[in-house]
Amino acid sequence: MRRRAVVIGGSLGGLFAAGFLQELGWQVDVYERVADELAARGAGIGTHGALFDALRRLGVEIDDRLGIRVTERICLDGNGNTVHTKRVDQVMSHWARVYRALKERIGPGHYHAGRNFSGFTEQGAEVIAGFDDGSEARADLLIGADGLRSSVRAQLIPDAEPRYAGYVAWRGLVKDGELPDGLRKSLGDGYYFVLPPGEMMLCYLVPGRDWNYVWYRPTTE
């Protein structure tokens, strides 16, 4: 009989775990508490070689649709003057592109949205995942990929608490076409940084020609 796995959390971590288990011949079901399409919540995400290797191993085709290639990082001062440049070749993607590619691979019958995991029990060699709606899923393996405030981890290691890193990030997307003409031309396809003391702002283009911006700022919890 095929071995069965239940993955709690249908974001990138859960989808990668599910994909690799499927590759190994497991029957895998992913349970995600958010009922609507997660892709709508994502913004820009930088890629790197390890991500491409993992995607390729899962048979995901890597082509120009995955992201926008940037070749230079440009650091600006507070007045918008360039203070430093560095050649770095990187593809900037959209979280939704990576997510959709992985989710498609899992297959719709194995991705269960709107299912909030509430706890697990063990019965012999089986693990039984319970959900808020009273339903259950039985498997040989349970994977907790349910993020920073993981309910799976809370049951296994009740004392583990996330530690505040000391800063928050604001991020958003602006349509390239909504920028003033002059600004759009001067930005080109660059990857920009501004580094006020103790802070970092960055922006880059993602597929769909949206500018992804993030502002990291220290603040109390």
Interaction site with ligand FAD (CB under 6 A): 8-14, 31-34, 38, 41-45, 95, 116-117, 145-148, 151
Contact 37, 111 (CB under 8 A): no
**How far is residue 191's CA from residue 92's CA, in Å, rounded to a whole number?**
9
Residue number with CB closer to ligand FAD (57 or 84): 57
Contact 29, 112 (CB under 8 A): yes
Shortest distance, position 214 Cβ to ligand FAD, whole Å: 8
**How far is residue 146's CA from residue 38's CA, in Å, rounded to a whole number?**
14
Shortest distance, position 61 Cβ to ligand FAD, whole Å: 21
Shortest distance, position 146 Cβ to ligand FAD, whole Å: 4
How is 91-132 classified by DSSP, letter by letter? EEEEHHHHHHHHHHHH-GGGEEET--EEEEEEETTEEEEEET
Residue number with CB closer to ligand FAD (161 or 181): 161
Residue number with CB closer to ligand FAD (190 or 212): 212
Shortest distance, position 107 Cβ to ligand FAD, whole Å: 18
Shortest distance, position 21 Cβ to ligand FAD, whole Å: 15
Residue number with CB closer to ligand FAD (158 or 182): 158
Residue number with CB closer to ligand FAD (39 or 76): 39
Contact 194, 75 (CB under 8 A): yes
Burial class (CB in 10 A: 0-12, 13-18, 19+), 14: buried
Shortest distance, position 82 Cβ to ligand FAD, whole Å: 25
Q: What are the phi and psi torsion angles at 114 (to 5°)?
A: 75, 25
Shortest distance, position 67 Cβ to ligand FAD, whole Å: 12
Burial class (CB in 10 A: 0-12, 13-18, 19+), 206: buried
Residue number with CB closer to ligand FAD (43 or 194): 43
Residue number with CB closer to ligand FAD (49 or 180): 49
